[in-house]
Amino acid sequence: TEQKRRGNIRQSFDRLTTIVPGTEGRGRSEMIVLSKTDEHIKEELLRRKALIEKLEARG
């Protein structure tokens, strides 16, 4: 049902706020959660790339 679908979406946003820095305690703004999630993913990808390059440089 529609209520169940909305509840699942809300639970997913709530889970994101426990994982993504800067989203906890920000209320229930989905735009803030999505924006901060986007930033976090981009930062983590850059961090991962830097680690891979560092490991490859070591040989």
pLDDT in tens, 1-39: 999 999 999 999 999 999 999 888 766 688 999 999 999
Contact partners, residue 22, CB within 8 Å, separation at least 6: 36, 39, 40
For the chain, the first-to-last Cα distance in angstroms comes to 54
Q: Give the pTM.
A: 0.79
Query: How many separate domains does the chain show?
Result: 1
Give the residue numbers spanning the domain of 7. Answer: 2-58
Residues in the chain: 59
* pLDDT (mean) for 43-50: 98
